[in-house]
Protein backbone atom coordinates (compact mmCIF):
# COMPACT_ATOMS: atom_id res chain seq x y z
CA UNK A 1 0.00 0.00 0.00
CA UNK A 2 1.76 3.21 -1.13
CA UNK A 3 1.82 6.22 1.16
CA UNK A 4 0.40 9.56 -0.05
CA UNK A 5 2.99 11.55 -1.99
CA UNK A 6 2.62 14.35 0.55
CA UNK A 7 2.86 12.05 3.58
CA UNK A 8 4.33 13.59 6.72
CA UNK A 9 4.55 12.18 10.25
CA UNK A 10 3.41 15.55 11.67
CA UNK A 11 1.86 18.74 10.38
CA UNK A 12 4.54 21.49 10.41
CA UNK A 13 2.52 23.85 12.69
CA UNK A 14 -0.73 24.10 14.66
CA UNK A 15 -3.45 24.69 12.06
CA UNK A 16 -6.06 25.48 14.71
CA UNK A 17 -7.64 22.00 15.04
CA UNK A 18 -4.85 19.44 15.16
CA UNK A 19 -6.53 17.21 17.75
CA UNK A 20 -10.19 17.37 16.72
CA UNK A 21 -12.26 14.23 16.05
CA UNK A 22 -10.79 12.75 12.83
CA UNK A 23 -7.29 13.83 13.80
CA UNK A 24 -7.55 11.61 16.88
CA UNK A 25 -8.05 8.47 14.77
CA UNK A 26 -4.34 7.71 15.01
CA UNK A 27 -1.50 8.61 17.37
CA UNK A 28 1.21 11.16 16.68
CA UNK A 29 3.55 11.01 14.87
CA UNK A 30 1.73 9.28 12.01
CA UNK A 31 3.81 6.22 11.23
CA UNK A 32 3.85 4.61 7.77
CA UNK A 33 2.42 1.40 9.22
CA UNK A 34 -0.57 3.16 10.81
CA UNK A 35 -1.25 5.21 7.69
CA UNK A 36 -1.19 2.10 5.48
CA UNK A 37 -3.59 0.28 7.83
CA UNK A 38 -6.08 3.15 7.73
CA UNK A 39 -5.75 3.51 3.96
CA UNK A 40 -6.52 -0.18 3.55
CA UNK A 41 -9.72 0.22 5.57
CA UNK A 42 -10.60 3.43 3.72
CA UNK A 43 -10.21 1.89 0.28
CA UNK A 44 -12.27 -1.08 1.46
CA UNK A 45 -15.15 1.25 2.35
CA UNK A 46 -14.85 2.98 -1.04
CA UNK A 47 -14.93 -0.40 -2.80
CA UNK A 48 -18.08 -1.35 -0.88
CA UNK A 49 -19.76 1.95 -1.78
CA UNK A 50 -18.79 1.48 -5.43
CA UNK A 51 -20.51 -1.90 -5.45
CA UNK A 52 -23.71 -0.45 -3.97
CA UNK A 53 -23.76 2.28 -6.62
CA UNK A 54 -23.34 -0.48 -9.21
CA UNK A 55 -26.45 -2.20 -7.82
CA UNK A 56 -28.46 1.04 -8.20
CA UNK A 57 -27.27 1.50 -11.79
CA UNK A 58 -28.08 -2.10 -12.61
CA UNK A 59 -31.58 -1.68 -11.17
CA UNK A 60 -32.07 1.33 -13.45
CA UNK A 61 -30.96 -0.74 -16.44
CA UNK A 62 -33.22 -3.64 -15.49
CA UNK A 63 -36.20 -1.31 -15.15
CA UNK A 64 -35.54 0.39 -18.48
CA UNK A 65 -35.03 3.77 -16.80
CA UNK A 66 -31.27 4.05 -17.17
CA UNK A 67 -31.21 5.79 -20.56
CA UNK A 68 -33.63 8.50 -19.39
CA UNK A 69 -32.23 9.13 -15.91
CA UNK A 70 -29.83 11.89 -14.89
CA UNK A 71 -27.35 10.62 -12.32
CA UNK A 72 -25.46 12.97 -10.02
CA UNK A 73 -22.91 11.69 -7.53
CA UNK A 74 -21.08 13.69 -4.91
CA UNK A 75 -20.10 13.25 -1.29
CA UNK A 76 -18.75 14.81 1.84
CA UNK A 77 -15.04 15.57 2.04
CA UNK A 78 -12.64 12.67 2.28
CA UNK A 79 -9.98 12.11 4.93
CA UNK A 80 -6.32 13.12 4.68
CA UNK A 81 -5.00 9.85 6.18
CA UNK A 82 -1.35 10.84 6.36
CA UNK A 83 -1.27 13.69 3.87
CA UNK A 84 0.56 16.65 5.43
CA UNK A 85 0.65 14.74 8.72
CA UNK A 86 -3.15 15.01 9.02
CA UNK A 87 -5.87 12.38 9.23
CA UNK A 88 -9.14 14.27 8.85
CA UNK A 89 -10.91 16.71 6.57
CA UNK A 90 -10.60 19.75 8.83
CA UNK A 91 -8.15 21.50 6.54
CA UNK A 92 -8.05 23.43 3.26
CA UNK A 93 -5.43 21.41 1.42
CA UNK A 94 -6.54 19.77 -1.82
CA UNK A 95 -6.85 16.46 0.07
CA UNK A 96 -9.32 18.01 2.49
CA UNK A 97 -11.37 20.36 0.36
CA UNK A 98 -12.00 18.42 -2.86
CA UNK A 99 -15.01 16.15 -3.32
CA UNK A 100 -16.16 14.04 -6.27
CA UNK A 101 -18.81 15.44 -8.60
CA UNK A 102 -20.08 13.24 -11.42
CA UNK A 103 -22.98 14.16 -13.68
CA UNK A 104 -24.19 11.68 -16.28
CA UNK A 105 -27.33 11.12 -18.26
CA UNK A 106 -29.19 11.82 -21.50
CA UNK A 107 -27.50 14.44 -23.64
CA UNK A 108 -24.47 14.73 -21.34
CA UNK A 109 -21.22 13.95 -23.20
CA UNK A 110 -18.49 11.85 -21.65
CA UNK A 111 -15.49 13.74 -20.37
CA UNK A 112 -13.94 15.43 -17.37
CA UNK A 113 -13.24 18.95 -16.20
CA UNK A 114 -10.90 20.80 -13.87
CA UNK A 115 -13.35 23.71 -13.50
CA UNK A 116 -13.62 25.42 -10.13
CA UNK A 117 -17.04 24.60 -8.65
CA UNK A 118 -18.95 24.55 -5.37
CA UNK A 119 -21.49 21.94 -4.33
CA UNK A 120 -24.13 24.66 -4.14
CA UNK A 121 -23.76 24.89 -7.92
CA UNK A 122 -25.63 21.56 -8.21
CA UNK A 123 -29.11 23.02 -7.69
CA UNK A 124 -28.96 25.64 -10.47
CA UNK A 125 -27.20 23.09 -12.68
CA UNK A 126 -30.03 20.59 -12.33
CA UNK A 127 -32.58 23.33 -13.00
CA UNK A 128 -30.69 24.29 -16.16
CA UNK A 129 -30.26 20.73 -17.42
CA UNK A 130 -33.95 19.85 -17.01
CA UNK A 131 -35.18 23.18 -18.39
CA UNK A 132 -36.59 24.57 -15.17
CA UNK A 133 -35.95 28.18 -14.11
CA UNK A 134 -33.65 28.51 -11.08
CA UNK A 135 -34.55 30.93 -8.28
CA UNK A 136 -32.75 34.23 -8.69
CA UNK A 137 -31.64 34.25 -5.07
CA UNK A 138 -29.23 31.32 -5.42
CA UNK A 139 -25.52 31.83 -4.73
CA UNK A 140 -24.54 28.91 -6.96
CA UNK A 141 -23.94 29.01 -10.70
CA UNK A 142 -25.16 26.57 -13.30
CA UNK A 143 -22.47 24.18 -14.48
CA UNK A 144 -24.50 23.25 -17.55
CA UNK A 145 -22.17 25.13 -19.93
CA UNK A 146 -19.28 23.02 -18.61
CA UNK A 147 -21.27 19.80 -18.67
CA UNK A 148 -22.32 20.44 -22.28
CA UNK A 149 -18.75 21.25 -23.30
CA UNK A 150 -19.52 24.86 -24.16
CA UNK A 151 -17.38 26.52 -21.46
CA UNK A 152 -14.21 25.70 -19.54
CA UNK A 153 -15.56 27.17 -16.32
CA UNK A 154 -18.03 29.51 -14.65
CA UNK A 155 -15.68 31.22 -12.19
CA UNK A 156 -11.96 31.86 -11.88
CA UNK A 157 -11.58 31.81 -8.08
CA UNK A 158 -12.75 29.74 -5.12
CA UNK A 159 -12.99 31.07 -1.57
CA UNK A 160 -12.75 28.48 1.20
CA UNK A 161 -13.07 28.54 4.98
CA UNK A 162 -12.83 26.23 7.94
CA UNK A 163 -14.27 27.65 11.16
CA UNK A 164 -12.40 30.77 12.27
CA UNK A 165 -8.97 29.20 11.96
CA UNK A 166 -8.40 28.71 8.22
CA UNK A 167 -9.15 30.65 5.05
CA UNK A 168 -8.07 29.96 1.46
CA UNK A 169 -8.20 31.45 -2.00
CA UNK A 170 -7.68 29.19 -5.02
CA UNK A 171 -7.54 29.73 -8.76
CA UNK A 172 -6.39 27.48 -11.60
CA UNK A 173 -2.71 27.93 -10.74
CA UNK A 174 -2.32 29.19 -7.20
CA UNK A 175 -3.65 28.59 -3.72
CA UNK A 176 -3.11 30.73 -0.65
CA UNK A 177 -4.06 29.24 2.72
CA UNK A 178 -4.26 31.71 5.58
CA UNK A 179 -4.27 30.84 9.29
CA UNK A 180 -5.43 34.16 10.80
CA UNK A 181 -5.20 33.19 14.45
CA UNK A 182 -1.48 32.46 14.18
CA UNK A 183 -0.69 34.96 11.39
CA UNK A 184 0.66 32.28 9.06
CA UNK A 185 0.21 31.81 5.31
CA UNK A 186 1.03 29.09 2.81
CA UNK A 187 1.32 29.64 -0.94
CA UNK A 188 1.33 26.78 -3.43
CA UNK A 189 1.70 26.68 -7.19
CA UNK A 190 -0.81 23.94 -7.96
CA UNK A 191 0.35 23.59 -11.54
CA UNK A 192 3.87 22.64 -10.50
CA UNK A 193 3.09 21.32 -7.03
CA UNK A 194 -0.35 19.63 -6.96
CA UNK A 195 0.50 17.82 -3.71
CA UNK A 196 1.19 21.15 -1.94
CA UNK A 197 4.60 20.23 -0.56
CA UNK A 198 6.55 23.37 -1.51
CA UNK A 199 5.32 26.39 0.45
CA UNK A 200 6.36 29.60 -1.35
CA UNK A 201 4.78 32.12 1.04
CA UNK A 202 8.07 33.17 2.64
CA UNK A 203 9.88 33.64 -0.69
CA UNK A 204 10.23 37.39 -1.37
CA UNK A 205 9.70 36.74 -5.08
CA UNK A 206 6.07 35.90 -4.35
CA UNK A 207 5.32 38.67 -1.83
CA UNK A 208 3.12 40.50 -4.33
CA UNK A 209 1.08 37.40 -5.08
CA UNK A 210 0.60 36.70 -1.37
CA UNK A 211 -0.59 40.28 -0.83
CA UNK A 212 -2.93 40.12 -3.81
CA UNK A 213 -4.50 36.82 -2.80
CA UNK A 214 -4.74 37.86 0.85
CA UNK A 215 -6.78 40.89 -0.19
CA UNK A 216 -9.10 38.92 -2.51
CA UNK A 217 -11.50 37.65 0.21
CA UNK A 218 -11.97 41.18 1.54
CA UNK A 219 -12.77 42.42 -1.95
CA UNK A 220 -15.20 39.55 -2.44
CA UNK A 221 -16.86 40.16 0.94
CA UNK A 222 -17.33 43.84 0.16
CA UNK A 223 -18.93 42.94 -3.16
CA UNK A 224 -21.33 40.57 -1.39
CA UNK A 225 -22.22 43.25 1.18
CA UNK A 226 -23.05 45.70 -1.60
CA UNK A 227 -25.14 43.08 -3.39
CA UNK A 228 -27.10 42.20 -0.25
CA UNK A 229 -27.66 45.87 0.54
CA UNK A 230 -28.97 46.46 -2.98
CA UNK A 231 -31.38 43.52 -2.72
CA UNK A 232 -32.63 44.73 0.67
CA UNK A 233 -33.14 48.22 -0.69
CA UNK A 234 -35.21 46.87 -3.59
CA UNK A 235 -37.23 44.64 -1.26
CA UNK A 236 -37.94 47.47 1.16
CA UNK A 237 -38.89 49.77 -1.69
CA UNK A 238 -41.32 47.17 -2.98
CA UNK A 239 -42.95 46.82 0.44
CA UNK A 240 -43.34 50.60 0.66
CA UNK A 241 -45.27 50.66 -2.58
Q: Give the DSSP letter of residue 62.
A: H
With 0-12 CB in 10 A as exposed, 13-18 as middle and 19+ as buried, what is 223?
exposed
Ranges of each domain in the chain: 1-99, 156-241
Tally of residues, the chain: 241
User: Tell me, what's the pLDDT at 225?
Assistant: 74
**How far is Cα 142 from Cα 140, in angstroms, rounded to an integer?**
7
User: Tell me, what's the pLDDT at 55?
Assistant: 98
CATH code at 156-241: 3.30.1120.10
Q: Are 13 and 185 in contact (CB under 8 A)?
A: no
- CB atoms closer than 10 angstroms to residue 18: 18
pTM of the complete model: 0.89
**pLDDT 10s digits, 208-219:** 999 999 998 887
Mean of pLDDT values over 179-193: 97
**How far is Cα 168 from Cα 159, in angstroms, rounded to an integer?**
6
**How far is Cα 222 from Cα 88, in angstroms, rounded to an integer?**
32
The angle formed by the CA atoms of residues 233, 239 and 241, to the nearest 5 degrees, is 105
**pLDDT 10s digits, 127-176:** 999 999 999 888 899 999 999 999 999 999 999 999 999 999 999 999 99
More confident residue, 236 or 78: 78
Q: Are 177 and 93 in contact (CB under 8 A)?
A: yes
- CB atoms closer than 10 angstroms to residue 226: 10
With 0-12 CB in 10 A as exposed, 13-18 as middle and 19+ as buried, what is 236?
exposed
Nearest in space to 35 (alpha carbons), one of 104, 98, 82: 82
At 232, is the pLDDT very low, low, confident or very high (cuts 50, 70, 90)?
low
User: Tell me, what's the pLDDT at 234?
Assistant: 61
CA distances to 9, 15, 19, 23, 129 from 28, rounded to whole Å, are 7, 15, 10, 9, 47
User: Tell me, what's the pLDDT at 241?
Assistant: 44
Amino acid sequence: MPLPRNYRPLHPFDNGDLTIRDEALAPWPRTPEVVRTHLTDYYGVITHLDRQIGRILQALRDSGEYEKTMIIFSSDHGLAIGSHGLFGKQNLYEDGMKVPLIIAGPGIPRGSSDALVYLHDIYPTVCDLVGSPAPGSLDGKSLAPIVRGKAAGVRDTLFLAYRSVQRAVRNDEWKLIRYPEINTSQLFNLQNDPDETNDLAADPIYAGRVAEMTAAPRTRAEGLRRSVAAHLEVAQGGEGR
